[in-house]
Amino acid sequence: MRKLALPDEILLSIQQPARYIGGEVNMCVKDPKDVAIRFAMCFPDVYEIGMSHLGIQILYDMFNRREDTYCERVYSPWTDLDKIMREHKIPLFALESQDPIKDFDFLGITLQYEMCYTNVLQILDLSRIPLHSSERGEDDPVVIGGGPCAYNPEPLAEFFDLFYIGEGETVYDRLLDVYLDNKKQGKSRFEFLKKAAGIPGIYVPAFYDVTYKEDGTIKTFLPNNLCAPEKVTKELVVTLDDAPYIEKPLVPFLKVTQDRVVLEIQRGCIRGCRFCQAGNVYRPLREHGLDYLKHYAKKLIETTGHDEISLSSLSSSDYTYLPELVNYLIDECSAKGVNISLPSLRIDAFSLDVMSKVQDVKKSSLTFAPEAGSQRLRDVINKGLTEEVILKGAAMAFHGGWNRVKLYFMLGLPTEQREDMEGIALLSEKIAETYYDEIPKDQRHGKVQIVASSSFFVPKPFTPFQWAKMCTKEEFLERAYIVKNKFREMKNFKSLKYNWHEADVTVLEGVLARGDRRVCAVVEAAYNNGALFDSWSEYFDNSLWMRAFESCGIAPDFYTVRERGLDEIFPWDFIDAGVSKEFLKREWLLAMKEEVTPNCRQRCSGCGARGFGGGVCYEDKN
């Protein structure tokens, strides 16, 4: 029998013991004695969420191709096990070997959303690794952070030895080689960090000092060690087809959030929505080739046995070979009883035709993401979706048999006025009217159902809105009520539904997104107060965080509602993410003038990402 870290008595008394035993199909098995490097890859959330993440699977596969390395996985123990592990002093372990994380060379933690930060501390704590990088010794694992939140790593700077900025496929090999070399020479952890700091994309927080002005903003942010560069440039895969994809993804026993094959068709986005961090930091858009995707689609269905395949990208409709790829999938999958799911498609004749082939029209719904309720505000955020296009798409879909529509909006966007908020209700009403106008009574399948949801806007680093002032909780809720009241006035009120996101957690996300190093203390205090699984509404407790802000003497408003000057030094300015601060500033000013910017395929706006030497910036130019 495989060795398990937890005894039967514990495993049989907690929820979903399968979260902690490993042993899944396609799990990599190596003898830890045969390798020189042990790497623990962590997604700091519950198994079912962490196992659904494609990026980790790609890195897992890539690391394990190295003969000298064994990469294993670890996720956040759920609250029931968390309590038991503390009581019985059981150290956190990796799923594959079931060995304690503390024995590993590296602990890599992916940071996909801000609300996982207290879980990061849980992972370190349960592993018995000192929370602060400065307190770790030669025997502790090197703790690395990566993922989208590493584009502003400062609120976690004290807890990590280094951050990997950008796409993981490029310099990890080099990092591991340097580590091995350092180990062979018998050199110290500090020596390794110094060498690591010289690798592109690597940021070692301890090698930088920050000073502040009297008003609390940053005065200087400079390296204190010669090995550390002033600017850390993000790493990126220039030609996607050259990077390894997974041949045999792990297939969990438990039903995880993404219980399907995920095929990444492209990275980056041409659209330039001004609120979107992913659309900016993953620039430029790079596509996979059609043959590459066909090959992997077939292969991955064979090696996993999943009954569904899903295409992943920020805006699938922009993929050049989408019709060819989708037709191939329909042919390939229908014979095998495999379903196809196509998120983030623009609604038009093509997508409706495809959707009618791959899903049950009566059961599925159409999705639009206008993000803002008025054309004026959509221009501000550079969301190139017009009311005309939405209504035309909806009409086409209604004729095709759909009668459910989902609409996604944001509230609290810069310059938002009452008309913009009310526009959410008006647009929803117009879609309902379109249904009743277009579809004769005897052909309707019941009422039209329109569900509009709004989340609250959080300004993110490396977006044109990084200068924007965020709303307070009260302002957010006030705006939601304005929308809700407007919905009540609508003629087709009964066909419309409106709901909105929680405000407390949004404010906190705002602090963590644009926080600086001083916020580290708040995260730690909140964790010590008992904050954990903050992204789960049933566990999120705002009072734990408010107490933490108070005890640290830090005002959350400084990070959220404060107006930022155009020349302010931001905590993340030391990162070169491709898009230049000049470009972002230009975009911010254009937004204020309600002017739109064309997408990369219409006209290049000189964002700076061209410097990487590939992708959409060089289309039609060879």
Residues that bind ligand SF4 (CB under 6 A): 283-284, 600, 604-607, 609-610, 616-617
- How near is the Cβ of 608 to ligand SF4 at its closest, in Å? 6
Q: Work out the burial of residue 291: count CB atoms within 10 Å of its CB; fewer than 13 is exposed, 13-18 middle, 19 or more buried.
A: exposed
What length is written for the chain? 622
Residue 92, classed as helix, strand or coil, is coil
CB–CB of 571/154 below 8 Å? yes
Reduced to 3 states, what is the DSSP secondary structure of residue 587?
helix
**Cα dihedral across residues 213, 216, 219, 220: positive or negative:** positive
Residue 557 binding result from ligand SF4, another protein, none, given CB thresholds of 5 to 8 Å by partner type? none
Which residue, 298 or 346, is less far from another protein as judged by CB?
A: 298
Contacts of 473 (CB under 8 A, 6+ apart): 503, 504, 506, 507
For another protein, which residue of 137, 186, 337, 440 counts as binding (CB under 8 A)?
337
Beta-bridge partners for 455: 410
The one of another protein, ligand SF4, none whose footprint includes residue 607, by CB under 5 to 8 A per kind, is ligand SF4
Cβ atoms 9, 40 nearer than 8 A: no
| Contact between 474 and another protein per CB under 8 A | no
- End-to-end Cα, the chain, rounded Å: 58
Q: How far apart are CA 235 and CA 577, in angstroms?
A: 8
Q: Which does 173 bind (CB under 5 to 8 A by kind): ligand SF4, another protein, none?
A: none
CB of 23 to another protein, least distance (A): 5
Q: Rg for the chain (alpha carbons), in Å?
A: 25
Count of Cβ atoms closer than 10 Å to residue 217 Cβ: 17
β-bridge partners, 500: 454
Q: Which helix (H) or strand (E) holds 233?
A: strand 232-233
Of 198, 216, 289, 305, the one binding another protein (CB under 8 A) is: 305
CB of 617 to ligand SF4, least distance (A): 3
Instruction: Give the binding range for another protein (CB under 8 A) out of 19-27, 129-137, 412-420, 425-433.
Output: 19-27
Q: Which is nearer to another protein, 254 or 589 (CB)?
A: 254
Yes or no: say if 465 and 414 are a contact pair by the CB < 8 Å rule: yes
Contact status, residue 152 vs residue 571, Cβ threshold 8 Å: yes
302 vs 550 by CB, closer to another protein: 302
567 binds another protein (CB under 8 A): no
**Closest listed residue to residue 482, CA positions, set 563, 426, 418:** 418
* Span 282-301, contacts to another protein by CB under 8 A: 301
Q: Does 349 bind another protein (CB under 8 A)?
A: no
DSSP one-letter code for 409: E
Task: Produce one character per residue of 235-262: b if its CB has 16 or more CB atoms within 10 Å, e if not.
Answer: bbbeebeebebbebbbbbeeebebbbbb
Instruction: Check residue 360 for interaction with another protein (CB under 8 A).
Output: yes
Closest distance of CB 603 from ligand SF4, Å: 8
Specify which residues 146 forms β-bridges with: 110
Our CB check for another protein shows the closer of 26 and 317 to be 26
| Residue 331 interacting with another protein (CB under 8 A) | no
Binding region for another protein (CB under 8 A) out of 321-329, 336-344, 367-375, 448-456: 336-344
Q: 128, 336, 418, 488: which one contacts another protein (CB under 8 A)?
A: 336
Instruction: Give which of another protein, ligand SF4, none residue 33 binds (C-beta under 5 to 8 Å, depending on kind).
Output: none
As a three-state string, the secondary structure of 453-469 is EEEECCCCCCCHHHHCC
Give me the least distance between CB of 167 and ligand SF4, in Å please. 15
Site for another protein (CB under 8 A): which residue of 303, 367, 455, 472?
303
Number of residues that bind another protein (CB under 8 A): 30
3-state secondary structure of 520: helix
Q: Does 8 bind another protein (CB under 8 A)?
A: yes
369 binds another protein (CB under 8 A): no
Contact partner, 24, from ligand SF4, another protein, none, Cβ < 5-8 Å per class: another protein
Residue 4 or 604: the one with the smaller Cβ distance to ligand SF4 is 604
Instruction: Work out how close the CB of 470 gets to another protein at its nearest, in angstroms, rounded to a whole number.
Output: 42
Task: Please report the beta strands in 536-621, taking only residues with DSSP state E, as ranges in sequence order.
Answer: 575-576
Q: Which of 28, 180, 251, 278 binds another protein (CB under 8 A)?
A: 251
Smallest separation, CB 172 to ligand SF4 (Å): 25
Bridge partners of residue 286, in order along the sequence: 267
Helix (H, G, I), strand (E, B) or coil at 95: coil
533: left (phi over 0), alpha (psi -120 to 50) or beta: left
The entry of another protein, ligand SF4, none near residue 289 (CB within 5 to 8 angstroms by kind) is: none
**Chain residues 254-273 in contact with another protein, contact rule CB under 8 A:** 254-255
Helix axes 387-399, 418-438, angle to 10 degrees: 30
User: Contact between 566 and another protein (CB under 8 A)?
Assistant: no
Please say which residue, 194 or 267, places its beta carbon nearer to ligand SF4: 267
- Three state DSSP letters for 596-621: CCCCCCCCCCCCCHHHHCCHHHHCCC
CA pair distance 16, 491, nearest whole angstrom:
48
- Minimum distance, C-beta of residue 577 to another protein, in the bound complex (Å): 39
Contact 513, 152 (CB under 8 A): yes
Shortest gap between Cβ of 85 and another protein (angstroms)? 17
CA distance 303 to 301: 6
Q: Which is nearer to ligand SF4, 280 or 495 (CB)?
A: 280
Q: Is 445 in the site for another protein (CB under 8 A)?
A: no
- Minimum CB distance to another protein, residue 252 (Å): 9
* Contacted entry of ligand SF4, another protein, none for residue 2, CB cut-off 5 to 8 Å set by kind: another protein
Q: Cβ closer to ligand SF4: 123 or 616?
A: 616
Q: Which is nearer to another protein, 11 or 569 (CB)?
A: 11
Strands 286-287 and 266-267: antiparallel
Identify the sign of the CA torsion 507, 274, 169, 51.
positive
What, of ligand SF4, another protein, none, does residue 617 touch, CB below 5 to 8 Å by kind?
Answer: ligand SF4
Residue 15 beta carbon to another protein: minimum distance, rounded to whole angstroms? 11
The residue range among 226-234, 253-261, 448-456, 598-606 that interacts with another protein, by the rule CB under 8 A, is 253-261
* 258, 22 Cβ separation under 8 angstroms: no
Nearer to ligand SF4, 374 or 599 (CB): 599
Tokens of 569: 């030094």
Q: Among 312, 339, 365, 529, which residue sits at the site for another protein (rule: CB under 8 A)? A: 339
Rule CB under 8 A: which residues touch another protein? Answer: 1-2, 4, 8-9, 11-12, 17-18, 21-25, 251, 253-255, 301-307, 336-339, 360
